[in-house]
């Protein structure tokens, strides 16, 4: 018995540090393991407690710690769901949770985790999906808040921001489990590892999708779930047969990806399998525990790529990869006017340089969430999202394959994705127009001239800018990411003046210098515009809203690790674009969305915040800039937010002061010699 207890303690410690702290970023001092709180649970010790406050046994702050709990869990090592030990843990949960004033409790064996309603005893679901993994502290807080308001609640509905947090936190934990198995496998390179991971995860999803479409599975056919409780040898054989069936039936368009999985697990006549049967079984078990994947709303390819690609590959990949927290917020802002599904006002969305489909997948998630929240996600609305709304173009066929799969996994909408160069050829209807366009086009010198008479340029981003304007319907809106040169280079002044005739520039958002590092270090801006009718040639008169994002939740350096710093209500201190959950458990929008087209800090001479070094900074962040100010002869029609919000005044020194500075430097150099 003592040996079992010792083993269980080791498992709990490993679970806390590897999962809760390292993977879910819960501060270790806010987690207490196997400690007696006599005033609350008597001599019975809760296995694991998580609070808003750090626990300090020296100051005896147990009242503060307990009264601010967000989670309580019973941890049972080496037991199965539903066995005697598991049932005993449930009974303990029923007994201790009310004493700890928590409306729910958790039972885990460090592999499977189940959340239970402390009043009904039933399993808790998030957006209709059973919670089978531990969650971030945001989601624990959300669960506590919702069940405190309604103790019998068992299905918690969240908005699209929280949905992404839930799915990505759990998914990344599963990728971490796969990474441990991969240490034993000699992949040729990271690209092979990435393709294999995406492929085998997709196999599980295809079954979910088929079941959702048909309501049940055909018992005469082989499925992903048919590999469960098989020997390792049987699992490999069944997966191979399952891939063959998918290729012959409705998922044949993804056969290239599935074939990569088959070759790696079964080998060929000339080459043996790369992964042995035992490791295939382990990988299957991890992927199988990811269920359900359908409807969770994460970007599969982006998450896998971030986990397994090295810095060199990320730099090479940068031309067609946009960080997903940017694509999400920009898609959400661009589509703000689509507040419900209107069958009489359908529209189309295009990304003419879609890469792996980041903007399109986020657009799908945003619209589906809006339709859900307004009770307008009808069968017709679902078909509209799946078949008619989304269009994508990319010059690389492998990117289109990834985009199709990404769209398919997020809920479909992959029908109108084609591989061609949007600047030099056309495979859609000749005069087709779109209501919305969102894109992060390639940057740099190209071979195709921009379609404009105001200047001659082969810059790819300029060619795409004019292509976007051409493809928009009158009144259509676009978000396009552009480098600083387009907005400030004096030689492009006529281009900017031309934009005032063709469009209404609504907003220009400055992104942090390292926004897309290590993919690229180009200083980028998000430009939001509305196309005018060609007959309306009067130049824009209304001011442009400009905003500077100083912090996006990641360190402002090449490394780009999450800062995770919060204020006293749990809001992000260094993240202006992500949504969050307050200490009261309420879902909050990010600062950029909250400030959109209305924030102006001119009268307060700026906005204060605390930087990563703990220093207080006060600078202007946003406001409206008049067209007369922009078109002033001295400005070259500059469109950089920094130029107007944070003008730089150079400090000049006299020749004598310069000489003095030189002498100081010389003296310092002599000391070093």
Q: Over the stretch 117-150, which tens digit does the pLDDT of each residue have?
A: 999 999 998 877 777 788 888 788 888 989 999 9
- At residue 4, the 3 state secondary structure works out as helix
Task: Say yes or no: 8 and 150 in one domain.
Answer: yes
Task: Say yes or no: 212 and 133 in one domain.
Answer: no
Domain limits for position 197: 171-288
What is the total residue count of the chain? 673
Task: Say yes or no: 268 and 187 in one domain.
Answer: yes
Q: Which residue has the higher pLDDT, 88 or 133?
A: 88
Give the pLDDT band of residue 320 (cuts 50, 70, 90): very low
Domain stop point among 288, 315, 334: 288
Give the pLDDT band of residue 319 (cuts 50, 70, 90): very low
How large is the average pLDDT for residues 389-402?
90
What is the distance between the alpha carbons of residues 407 and 43, in angstroms, rounded to a whole number?
A: 53
Domain stop point among 131, 157, 183: 157
pLDDT at residue 160 in the model: 47
- Tell whether 311 is covered by a domain: no
Query: Percentage of residues in the chain with pLDDT exceeding 90?
Result: 44
Give the pLDDT band of residue 71 (cuts 50, 70, 90): very high
Mean pLDDT of the chain: 85
Task: Say yes or no: 90 and 21 in one domain.
Answer: yes
- Tell whether 456 is covered by a domain: no
Phi-psi region of 34 (alpha: psi -120 to 50; beta: other; left: phi over 0): left
Task: Say yes or no: 148 and 6 in one domain.
Answer: yes
Task: Say yes or no: 152 and 193 in one domain.
Answer: no
- Tell whether 648 is covered by a domain: no
Buried b (16+ CB within 10 A) or exposed e, 78-92: ebeeeeeebeebbeb
- Decide the pairing of beta strands 113-117 and 390-394: unpaired
Give the pLDDT band of residue 655 (cuts 50, 70, 90): confident
Task: Say yes or no: 114 and 211 in one domain.
Answer: no
Give the pLDDT band of residue 380 (cuts 50, 70, 90): very high
In the chain, the number of structural domains is: 2
Q: Which two tokens stand for residue 452?
A: 């404009």
- Tell whether 391 is covered by a domain: no
How large is the average pLDDT for residues 27-38?
85
pLDDT at residue 389 in the model: 96
Instruction: Please check whether residue 290 is in contact with residue 174, taking contact to mean a CB–CB distance below 8 angstroms.
Output: yes
pLDDT at residue 161 in the model: 56
**Tens-place pLDDT, residues 434-481:** 999 999 998 888 889 998 989 988 999 999 999 999 999 999 999 999
CA angle 489, 634, 528 (to 5 degrees): 50
Give the pLDDT band of residue 189 (cuts 50, 70, 90): confident
What is the distance between the alpha carbons of residues 328 and 160, in angstroms, rounded to a whole number?
A: 10
**Tens-place pLDDT, residues 76-87:** 877 888 899 999
- 100: Cβ–Cβ under 8 A, 6 or more apart, which residues? 40, 41, 46, 49, 66, 69, 72
Lowest mean pLDDT among 109-118, 505-514, 629-638, 664-673: 664-673
Instruction: Please check whether residue 505 is in contact with residue 304, taking contact to mean a CB–CB distance below 8 angstroms.
Output: no
616, pLDDT greater than 80: yes
Domain stop point among 157, 181, 215: 157
CA distance between the termini of the chain: 69
- At residue 130, the 3 state secondary structure works out as strand
Give the pLDDT band of residue 298 (cuts 50, 70, 90): low
547, pLDDT greater than 90: yes
Q: Which residue has the higher pLDDT, 19 or 361?
A: 361
105, pLDDT greater than 90: yes
Q: Which two tokens stand for residue 193?
A: 């590892």
Q: How far is CA 207 from CA 51, 126, 222, 226, 261, in A?
A: 39, 21, 10, 10, 16
Give how far the C-alpha of residue 304 lies from the chain's centroid of Cα atoms, to the nearest Å. 12
Task: Say yes or no: 144 and 30 in one domain.
Answer: yes
Task: Say yes or no: 140 and 203 in one domain.
Answer: no
Residue 418 CB coordination number (10 Å): 16
How large is the average pLDDT for residues 170-193?
87
- Tell whether 28 is covered by a domain: yes
Task: Say yes or no: 153 and 175 in one domain.
Answer: no
The CATH number of whichever domain residue 23 belongs to comes to 3.90.1570.30
- Tell whether 98 is covered by a domain: yes
Lowest mean pLDDT among 276-285, 291-300, 561-570: 561-570
Give the pLDDT band of residue 619 (cuts 50, 70, 90): very high
Task: Say yes or no: 153 and 91 in one domain.
Answer: yes
**Tens-place pLDDT, residues 248-258:** 876 777 788 88
pLDDT at residue 294 in the model: 63
pTM: 0.78
Task: Say yes or no: 41 and 99 in one domain.
Answer: yes
- H or E element in which residue 668 lies: helix 655-672
pLDDT at residue 59 in the model: 73
Place of tokens 């919000």: 645
498, pLDDT greater than 70: yes
Prior bond to 627 cis, omega within 30?
no
- Tell whether 103 is covered by a domain: yes
Q: How far is CA 237 from CA 222, 223, 247, 472, in A?
A: 11, 12, 16, 50
What is the distance between the alpha carbons of residues 173 and 23, in angstroms, rounded to a whole number?
A: 6
- Tell whether 180 is covered by a domain: yes
């Amino acid at each position: 018995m003592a040996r079992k207890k010792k083993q269980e303690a080791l498992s709990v410690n490993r679970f806390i540090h590897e999962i809760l702290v390292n993977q879910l970023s819960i501060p270790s001092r806010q987690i207490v393991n196997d400690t007696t709180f006599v005033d609350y649970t008597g001599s019975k010790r809760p296995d694991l407690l998580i609070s808003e406050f750090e626990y300090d046994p020296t100051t005896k702050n147990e009242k503060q710690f307990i009264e601010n709990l967000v989670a309580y869990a019973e941890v049972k090592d080496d037991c199965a769901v539903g066995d005697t030990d598991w049932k005993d843990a449930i009974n303990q949960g029923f007994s201790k949770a009310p004493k700890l004033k928590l409306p729910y409790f958790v039972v885990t064996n460090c592999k499977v985790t189940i959340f239970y309603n402390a009043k009904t005893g039933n399993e808790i679901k998030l957006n209709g999906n059973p919670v089978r993994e531990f969650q971030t502290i945001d989601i624990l807080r959300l669960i506590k808040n919702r069940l405190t308001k309604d103790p019998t609640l068992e299905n918690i509905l969240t908005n699209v921001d929280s949905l992404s947090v839930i799915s990505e936190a759990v998914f990344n934990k599963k990728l971490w489990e796969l990474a441990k198995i991969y240490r034993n496998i000699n992949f040729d390179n990271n690209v092979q590892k990435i393709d294999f991971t995406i492929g085998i995860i997709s196999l599980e999803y295809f079954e979910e999708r088929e079941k959702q479409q048909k309501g049940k599975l055909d018992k005469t056919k082989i499925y992903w779930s048919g590999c469960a409780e098989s020997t390792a040898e049987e699992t490999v054989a069944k997966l191979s047969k399952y891939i063959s069936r998918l290729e012959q039936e409705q998922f044949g368009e993804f056969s290239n990806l599935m074939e990569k999985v088959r070759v790696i697990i079964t080998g060929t006549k000339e080459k043996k399998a790369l992964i042995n049967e035992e490791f295939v079984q382990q990988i299957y078990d991890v992927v199988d525990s990811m269920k359900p994947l359908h409807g969770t709303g994460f970007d599969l390819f982006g998450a896998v790529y971030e986990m397994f690609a090295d810095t060199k590959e990320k730099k090479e990949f940068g031309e067609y990869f946009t960080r997903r927290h940017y694509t999400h917020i920009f898609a959400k802002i661009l589509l703000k006017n689509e507040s419900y599904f209107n069958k009489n006002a359908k529209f189309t969305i295009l990304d003419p340089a879609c890469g792996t489909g980041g903007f399109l997948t986020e657009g799908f998630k945003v619209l589906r969430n809006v339709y859900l929240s307004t009770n307008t996600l009808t069968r017709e609305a679902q078909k509209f999202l799946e078949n008619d709304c989304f269009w994508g173009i990319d010059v690389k066929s492998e990117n289109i394959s990834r985009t199709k799969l990404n769209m398919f996994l997020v809920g479909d909408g992959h029908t109108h994705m084609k591989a061609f160069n949007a600047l030099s050829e056309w495979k859609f209807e000749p005069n087709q127009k779109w209501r919305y366009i969102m894109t992060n086009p390639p940057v740099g010198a190209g071979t195709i001239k921009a379609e404009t008479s105001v200047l001659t340029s082969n810059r790819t981003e300029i060619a795409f800018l004019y292509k976007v304007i051409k493809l928009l319907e009158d009144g259509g809106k676009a978000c396009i990411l552009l480098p600083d040169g387009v907005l400030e280079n004096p030689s492009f002044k006529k281009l900017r003046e031309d934009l005032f005739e063709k469009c209404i520039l609504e907003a220009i958002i400055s992104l942090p210098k390292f926004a897309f590092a290590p993919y690229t270090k180009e200083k980028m801006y998000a430009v939001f515009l509305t196309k005018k009718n060609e007959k309306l040639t009067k130049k824009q008169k209304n001011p442009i809203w400009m905003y500077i994002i100083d912090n996006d939740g990641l360190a402002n350096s090449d490394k780009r690790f999450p800062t995770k710093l919060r204020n006293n209500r749990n809001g992000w201190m260094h993240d202006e674009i992500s949504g969050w959950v307050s200490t009261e458990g309420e879902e909050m929008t990010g600062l950029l969305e909250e400030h959109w087209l209305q924030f102006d800090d001119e009268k307060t001479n700026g906005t204060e915040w605390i930087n990563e070094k703990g220093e207080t900074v006060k600078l202007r962040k946003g406001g409206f800039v008049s067209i007369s100010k922009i078109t002033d002869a001295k400005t070259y029609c500059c469109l950089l937010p920094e130029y107007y919000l944070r003008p730089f005044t150079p400090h000049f020194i006299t020749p004598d002061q310069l000489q003095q500075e030189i002498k100081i430097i010389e003296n310092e150099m002599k000391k070093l010699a």
